[in-house]
Amino acid sequence: MRCEPENTMRDLLKSLAGCKNVASLRSTIGELSAEFGAITLMDILTMKQPGKLQAMCFLRPESPSQERQLMANLGVSRFGNDLVFVVDLPEEPKPAGQREGFRPRSTKDRRSKSPARRLLDRGVR
């Protein structure tokens, strides 16, 4: 499912918030780039925090004037040579009955006894 891009630059971040995953986010940024010029670099990193999944987006517009326009109209920040902004993404649902950080145990007993210990347990000396 793709998120629908808005037609105005000030609605860019709102339209990006409707993206369901990184692929749709990348696609929408690509579609919207036509409104403010070509993007020469796009890098998206995800960060997972308890109860929240965020995408940190780094963009490098083609010209300094496009960069100034984005900064003025969208309120995005500069990080090095790139513009950066954060988009909240919906968190992947957990499988039913699974707790945070829970890994089910293997059915195989991992603590096998040494042959000497087994003999002692049987009373053989």
The DSSP result for the chain, as a single string, is -PPPPPSSGGGHHHHHHT--SHHHHHHHHHHHHHHH--EEEEEEEEEEETTEEEEEEEEEESSHHHHHHHHHHH-PEEETTEEEEEEEEPPPPPPTTPPTT--PPPSS-S-PPPHHHHHHHTT--
Residue 66 lies in a domain: yes
Q: Which residue range is the domain that position 24 belongs to?
A: 9-93
Q: Considering its fold, how many domains does the chain have in total? A: 1
Q: CA-to-CA distance for 35 and 124, rounded, in angstroms?
A: 83
Judge whether 124 lies within some domain.
no
The pLDDT score that the predictor gives to residue 47 is 92
Who contacts 119 (Cβ-Cβ below 8 Å, separation ≥6)? 125
* Residue 76 domain-assigned (yes or no): yes
Query: Is the four-CA dihedral 58, 59, 60, 66 of positive or negative sign?
Result: negative
Residue 25 lies in a domain: yes
Question: Does residue 63 lie within any of the structural domains?
Answer: yes
Q: Is 74 a domain residue?
A: yes
The predicted-structure confidence for 82-113, as pLDDT tens digits, reads as follows 999 888 888 766 656 555 555 555 555 555 56
Sequence-ordered list of residues with C-beta below 8 angstroms from that of 5, at least 6 positions apart, any chain: 15, 28, 31, 32
- Tokens for 32? 């919207």
Q: What is the pLDDT of residues 47-95, one digit of tens each?
A: 998 888 999 999 998 888 888 887 877 778 898 989 998 888 887 666 5
Q: Is the pLDDT of residue 31 over 70?
A: yes
- Looking at residue 43, what is its pLDDT? 93
Asked if the structure places residue 73 within a domain, the reply is yes
pTM (global) more than 0.95: no
| CATH code of the domain in which 25 resides | 3.30.70
Residue 120 resides in a domain: no
Q: Residue 37: pLDDT above 50?
A: yes
Both tokens assigned to 119? 């003999």
Does 4 have pLDDT greater than 50? no
Q: What confidence score (pLDDT) does residue 93 get?
A: 62
